[in-house]
Amino acid sequence: MFYGQVKDSIASTFLVAHYDYTCRTSDNKGENHIVNYGLTLQVAQDMACTMGQKRHNGENDKNEQLLYVPTTWQNHPEGKITSVETIPPYRYLTTEKMAEIKWTLLIERDTICGLPCQKATGTYGGRAWTAWFTEKLPTRFGPWRLGGLPGLIVRAVSADSIHRFECSKVEPTKEAITYTVPEGIVKSARAKFVKLRNRIFGNPNYVSNPSYYIKPAEIESMAVIKGMVVLGGTPIDMKPAKFQPLDF
């Protein structure tokens, strides 16, 4: 997938954190399968952006494209979370008010990535999360849509252990955060998009026939490029794993 070249730099970072994201699920044969990819969190004074690590590095990586890794901007516009996500053949732009996650701070401590961290629990998007944060990095942001703790979230695990964000590296780096909106994107309310995404990807037919829901009229073009099926500019994973939604 290629983002349009309409870019707008909106902030400058104080740090860049790299995460390993893992998702425990099953494949199209029903056997245990782990989906794993890298994420990069760019943190500025009053906003943050999470995106696929390959995309951050400027690479058009096939695997990352097939995983439909979302790009999320926290507190942009001010007070809102904006994200660009994919349900082939379309890309969606969603915006919602930044929800204040009610975290409960616990006394348990640990060291992650060489940083002293404190534990907290909270609920977001219908999932319970356990997060570890470090006061050493004074920012309220974390990976994906998680945040609101008095320090960078360096580990976050869903209560059912399906989703895990683990920080692998933090760099004190100054770079530009860009806000990129692909051409032809579809704007949608967050709740409506989440409902649609979970309905489509959660359908039992999705794993065996990932394009079951796409109407022929919606296909502008179709191509097979290096073994990858591309519909209207969006690649389709023809052997997807079972979908595990991050939020409901």
Partner 1 sequence: MTRFWFILLLLVAPLRAVNAQTQIISVSGQARCGTEKVVGALVTMLQPTDSSIVAYATTDKQGLYTLKATIQLSEVLLSISGFNIKRKTTRIKAHSQTFDFHVEEENKTLREVVIKSQKLWGNRDTLNYFVSAYTRGKDRSIGDVLQKLPGITIENNGVIKYQGTPINHFYIENLDMLQGRYNLATQGIKAEDVATVQVLENHEHIRSRQDQTPSERAAINLKLKDKVKGIWSKSANLGAGHNFDESLWEAMLQAMYFGKSKQHMLRYSGDNLGRSQEMGTDHYGFSSEGNSRMVSLVEHSSPPIGNGLFGYRHSINLNNLAKLSDSITINYNFNYSHNLASGHSFSQITYLLPNGEKQLLMEDIADRTHTHSANVQLIYEKNLQHRYLKNALSLWGRWNEGRGDIRSAHQNQLSMLNGTGGESSISQALHYRSLGMSNRTHWVHRTAKGGGFEWTSTNRVSTTPQTLIIGGERRAHQDIEITSISTINGFSLLRNLRTRKWTLSTSGNLNTSYTILTSALAHPNIPVAPHGDMNHLRSSVDLGPVAQYTSGAFQSKLSVPIALTYTALNNAVVEGEETDAHRLRLYLQPSFSLQWKATDYLTFNANAHYSASETPWRMLLTANVMQNYRSLSRYRATLDNSYGAGTHFKVAFKDIFTSMFAHLEGSWQRSWSDIAYGTTLDAQAHTIVEATYMPNHSNRYILTAYGRKDIDWHTLQIELSATRSWGKSEMLRQSVLTTYRTTGYALRGTLSFDIVSGYRLDYRSTWQRQRSTAPQHTFTHDELNQRAELSLRLWPSRLFLNLHASHTHNNSLTSERKDYLFIGSSLQFKLSKKVEFNLNGDNLTNIRSYSSRSIGDMENFYSEYYLRPLSITLTAHI
Q: For partner 1, which is the closer residue by CB, 182 or 235?
A: 182
Q: What separation, in Å, do the N-terminal and C-terminal C-alpha atoms of the chain show?
A: 25
Query: Strand 90-97 relative to strand 186-189: parallel, antiparallel, unpaired?
Result: parallel
Round to whole Å and give the CA distance between 65 and 69: 7
Q: CB of residue 108 vs partner 1: minimum separation in angstroms? A: 10
> If binding is defined by CB under 8 A, does position 15 make contact with partner 1?
yes
Which one of 139, 158, 188, 234 is in contact with partner 1 (CB under 8 A)? 139
- Cβ-defined contacts of 95-101 (< 8 Å, 24+): 95/187, 95/189, 95/190, 96/189, 96/190, 96/191, 98/74, 99/124, 100/148, 101/146, 101/147, 101/148
Size of the site for partner 1 (CB under 8 A): 26
Round to whole Å and give the CA distance between 1 and 225: 12
Q: For partner 1, which is the closer residue by CB, 113 or 149?
A: 149
Interacting positions 82-111 with partner 1 (CB under 8 A): 105, 107
Which one of 135, 160, 218, 220 is in contact with partner 1 (CB under 8 A)? 135
Q: CB of residue 41 vs partner 1: minimum separation in angstroms? A: 14
Which one of 6, 128, 189, 219 is in contact with partner 1 (CB under 8 A)? 6
Which one of 2, 8, 208, 238 is in contact with partner 1 (CB under 8 A)? 8
Q: For partner 1, which is the closer residue by CB, 127 or 140?
A: 140
Per-residue x/- marks for partner 1, 149-188, CB under 8 A? xxx-------------------xxxxxx-x----------
Q: Using alpha carbons, select from 43, 47, 44 the residue that is nearest to residue 18.
A: 43
Which one of 2, 7, 161, 209 is in contact with partner 1 (CB under 8 A)? 7
Q: For partner 1, which is the closer residue by CB, 105 or 191?
A: 105
> If binding is defined by CB under 8 A, does position 45 make contact with partner 1?
yes
Residues 141, 179: contact at Cβ < 8 Å?
A: no
What are the two backbone dihedrals, phi and then psi, of residue 200, each rounded to the nearest 5 degrees? -75, -55
Q: For partner 1, which is the closer residue by CB, 97 or 226?
A: 97
Q: Which residues have CB under 8 Å from 40's CB, separation 6+? A: 16, 17, 18, 19, 50, 51, 52, 53, 56, 57
Round to whole Å and give the CA distance between 167 and 105: 20
Q: For partner 1, which is the closer residue by CB, 40 or 158?
A: 40
> If binding is defined by CB under 8 A, does position 116 make contact with partner 1?
no
Q: Which residues of the chain form contacts with partner 1 (CB under 8 A)?
A: 5-9, 14-15, 45-46, 105, 107, 118, 135, 138-140, 149-151, 171-176, 178
